[in-house]
Amino acid sequence: MATRWLLSGFVGFFIGFGFPWIRTCRPFMSDDQASTHVVPDQSRLQEEDQASTHVVPDEPRLQEKTVPEVGLHYEGLQLYSQPASPDEVWKSLKKLSKDSQIQLKHYPGFLGPYKAYADMSGLEFSLLYLSGLKETDSLLDIGCGALRLGRVVLPYLLPGKYHCIEPNSWLVREALHYEIGEQILWLKQPKFAFNDKFQAPLADSTFNFLIAQSIFSHTGLDMFEGAMKKIKGHMTDASVFLITFVRVGNWPDCTTSEGWLYPGCCVMTDEAIQQVATRHELFAVPLKWRHDRQQWWAWCLYSSKAKCNNLESIIPHVPHV
């Protein structure tokens, strides 16, 4: 009796609960039921996809003789139609290794030794960073040339913070094309002023940092003094002007030279450097930071000379490796 009672209970449970559950499995469902149960509504999904799709505008493509339409200063800058490919870069480097004369015409070697191009990039940026440069600071790169500093500092600074004065627009074009790509013009929105009058992109702009690496080591006193009259107008109590001079060597004296002397140099004694700074009501101190051919100096307004004095004490000497 007990066995029959257990068997009847099991059969009743199966009929009441197990059999309906089994029928929900796919092998027991009709085709209509299966398609409705498993396959989602395609028309509904398409509507949801269309509703969630965002239209992304095409990235701007550079054409010859065009520049970004963002209201910046690019007069005279003619860009390539396409960014440089790895093959283009490799071919240009192979040419440089074969002919030293090409180095003088190519962007890394036009304004200084070709082999020192990368080394100076690191030294200049490191000096700025140790001097307190932050991504929110504004920088005026005087004689930015082939973006020796720009290719490192541009990605670091926030958009619109990098300004440059450079008379040779082709140097900037070459560096943009082969070093960092023209798209950085949209991303970082730098400002370039192509002139030999030391006129910044924006006449009323001021900067936290200004830098002139190997610029006034190639100018006579007349050009140097004229440049300083304009440059000082871009300085405030928060500004530091980093500048290099040739102090010794078989070169003419800057104080008795005139105009632009490149590729030649001129020398200035510490006393002459201090005299120029004093005439423009600026405070100047020499720095121990490494430069294989010149001497770094920091110039500040008299009202903030403590800033320059601090740099003189904290900037270390880095020996040549």
pLDDT tens digit sequence for 193-222 = 989 999 999 999 999 999 999 999 999 999
Residue closest to 218 by CA, chosen among 137, 111, 100, 115: 111
Geometric angle at alpha carbon 192, from 187 and 196, rounded to 5°: 165
Predicted confidence band of residue 282 (pLDDT cuts 50, 70, 90): very high
**pLDDT attached to residue 226:** 96
> For residue range 35-62, what is the model confidence (pLDDT) as tens digits?
334 444 555 545 544 444 433 333 333 3
Average of pLDDT values for 18-23? 48
**pLDDT attached to residue 130:** 97
Predicted confidence band of residue 146 (pLDDT cuts 50, 70, 90): confident
**pLDDT attached to residue 190:** 92
Percent of the chain with pLDDT over 70: 63
CA distance 71 to 28: 70
Give all domains of the chain, ordered by start, each with its CATH number.
86-314 (3.40.50.150)
pTM: 0.71
Average of pLDDT values for 302-321? 91
* 81 vs 184, more confident: 184
Range name among 5-14, 126-135, 163-172, 254-263 with the lowest pLDDT average: 5-14
C-alpha dihedral (278, 280, 281, 285), degrees to nearest 10? -50
Residue closest to 167 by CA, chosen among 76, 31, 302: 76
Predicted confidence band of residue 22 (pLDDT cuts 50, 70, 90): very low
> For residue range 231-275, what is the model confidence (pLDDT) as tens digits?
999 999 999 999 999 988 899 999 999 998 888 899 999 999 999
